[in-house]
Structure 1
């Protein structure tokens, strides 16, 4: 075989390899965004910053993960209303959202035993006394 045929075969092999990669990437349907409406959330980001600042001024830790009981411990006052979001970055189909309304004094336990083991982002947005708050924890179950 001479040089011309070798170079030509190398080019054909490279083009075939690239075509295989393109076909694989086009057929892949298991790609999830962290959130579907990310543009709306980006616009409201300043409000999010204000909520985080408000939460940092509190003298208590509101969102705590208890690894022994595999649950989130929420330290919220009676009358607080909020939203607890459980995000699984590797698979958006496992995401969960819980609406909270605290009616009893003391700490509230949210069991997480039914969640798939792995990395989770837990986001708590709540309102108490007319002020909005936000706190986030990254946990590994």
Structure 2
């Protein structure tokens, strides 16, 4: 074997290796973006900041997590409406969106026993007396 054949074999092996990597990367189906409509949410981010400021001015903790019993406690008044998003950064297929409408006084409890163990972000958005609020908590189940 001479130099020409060695160089040709090396180039062919390199191209085959690169093509194998391309095929493997194209076949992956578990790539998840943080959010589907990223640009729309980026434009509305100032509204989100205002919701967070409103929630910070409340004199109570609205979103509490009890790790021992795997329960989220919500301290919302009667008539408050909103949604609770359970966001799993590592797998978008596990995300859940729960609508909320508070009809009873006292703290509302939501069980998280059915969720897969691991890291979760809990995002609570609600409207109380015509004012929008947002609070987020990072939990590990």
Q: Report the TM range for the smaller structure's normalisation.
A: over 0.9
What 5-or-longer segments of structure 2 have no aligned partner? none
For structure 1, which runs of at least 5 residues remain unmatched after alignment? Answer: none
2:60 and 2:2 map into 1 onto residues whose CA distance is: 77
Partner secondary structure for residue 89 of structure 2? coil
Q: SS in structure 2 opposite 1:32? A: coil
Matched, 1:138 2:138: yes
Alignment of 1:1-141 (within 5 A): 1-141=1-141
Count of residue pairs brought into register by the alignment: 141
TM-score, normalisation: structure 2:
0.92
- The DSSP-based 3-state class of the residue aligned with 2:39 is helix
Deviates more, 1:25-34 or 1:40-49: 25-34
Q: CA deviation at 1:111?
A: 0.3
In the TM superposition, structure 1's runs of 4+ consecutive aligned residues that sit over 6 Å from their partners are: none
- The alpha-carbon deviation at position 58 of structure 1 amounts to 1.4
- TM value normalised by structure 1: 0.92
The alignment's C-alpha RMSD in Å is 1.4
